[in-house]
Amino acid sequence: MTIRFQDVATELEHINTLRDDVMERAFIALEQRHATLAAMLVQSLGDRQRAVRWMCRHQNAFSGRTAYELLSDGEEDAVWDEISLMGDAPVPARMSSARMAY
């Protein structure tokens, strides 16, 4: 079976579109259910898109889990703790703490 690179590119674009949609819907739900947490995260990271992506990233601070995984496990305090640490850190440190843990 031969794979065409154009097919791969098209499929990846479709997957990324679906992923972006899920990330946006998840953050809207966060804003509705945990409005203060969502607002503080946006404030700490500087803009909404960074906050949307941060919530979905696997974080070293969360043992490789996402903030959504913590919230689903009832560990909202751990998410708040990380947000408060970001607010205390200088901007360059905030950017590095938002990197994925893989």
Tell me if 76 is assigned to some domain.
Answer: yes
**Confidence check: pLDDT of 92 > 50:** no
pTM: 0.79
Helices (H), the chain: 5-33, 35-45, 48-56, 67-72, 76-88, 91-97
- 37: tokens are 């947490």
Range of the domain at 91: 5-97
Instruction: Determine the Cα–Cα distance for residues 68 and 79; give it in Å rounded to an integer.
Output: 9
Which amino acid appears at position 16 of this protein? N
Instruction: Determine the Cα–Cα distance for residues 16 and 55; give it in Å rounded to an integer.
Output: 16
How confident is residue 1, by pLDDT bands cut at 50, 70 and 90? confident
How confident is residue 96, by pLDDT bands cut at 50, 70 and 90? very low
Tell me if 102 is assigned to some domain.
Answer: no
Which of 37-41, 85-89, 93-97 has the least mean pLDDT? 93-97
Answer for the pair 86, 92: CB distance below 8 angstroms, yes or no.
no
Quick one: DSSP state of residue 89?
Answer: S
Into how many domains does the chain fold?
A: 1
Tell me if 90 is assigned to some domain.
Answer: yes
